[in-house]
Amino acid sequence: MAATIFMVVRLRNLFAVVMLGGIYSLLAAALLVVLDAVDVAFTEAAVGAGISTVLALGALSLTTSQEKEPSRRPLYTLAVLFVVSVTGAALIFGSLDMPLFGDPAAPIHGHVADTYLAEGQAATGVPNIVTAVLASYRGFDTLGEVMVIFTAGIGVLLAFASAQAGRKPDDEVGGGEDDE
């Protein structure tokens, strides 16, 4: 996975970058299967490796598949380096306080997870506890997620519709020849 990320940063050809992004998602899905999070792995494989790659390719076909050369002004590079280092250091500093991987005393295991695991199946009659939590215990969350997807879909449709409407009169006149 580190190798894919390194190549994504280095490469200037966006087509290859999109493909590497898909490979990264597939590797992440495999990692999640190893961690026994099959539902999440399923989503990562379907959304990350599948649909996102196709949509990114669709976006590339509308724009260009070659990244612009980055600016080489020294002051700009220094500022970027500063911001990235400070953010990275803050993130690493924050991760120091996190519980160890698989630590049974971690805060996440102290609240409701035990109740869900103990009572979930009897209360909902659903053997897959992930579905039970997602749909029943966290029904409001899931409703919110669906609304996010709904909003995203409407937003994309509106953006493309307005772009289309903005271009139409132009096309009727004769598309771009007016500029000259």
Partner 1 sequence: MSHHLVVRVIAKFLIPFIMLFGLYVQFHGDFGPGGGFQAGVIFASAFILYALVFGVETARKVVPDWVVRTGIALGGLIFGGTGIVSLLKGGNYLDYSALKADPVAGQHIGILVIELGVGITVASVMTAIFFAFAGRQRKG
* Residues from 49 through 108 that contact partner 1 (CB under 8 A): 50-51, 54-55, 58-59, 61-62
Report the largest interatomic distance among the alpha carbons of the chain, rounded to a whole angstrom: 73
Out of 1, 16, 31, 43, which residue is the one contacting partner 1 (CB under 8 A)? 43
Out of 102, 127, 166, 169, which residue is the one contacting partner 1 (CB under 8 A)? 127
CA atoms of 78 and 88, how far apart (whole Å): 15
When asked if residue 31 is in the footprint of partner 1 (CB under 8 A), the reply is no
When asked if residue 23 is in the footprint of partner 1 (CB under 8 A), the reply is no
Number of residues that bind partner 1 (CB under 8 A): 47
Interface with partner 1 by CB under 8 A: which range of 10-18, 68-76, 92-100, 147-155? 147-155
Burial class of residue 7 (count of CB atoms within 10 Å of its CB; 0-12, 13-18, 19+): middle
Nearer to partner 1, 114 or 145 (CB): 145
Which sign, positive or negative, has the C-alpha torsion 92, 49, 1, 42?
positive
The end-to-end CA distance of the chain, in Å, is 50
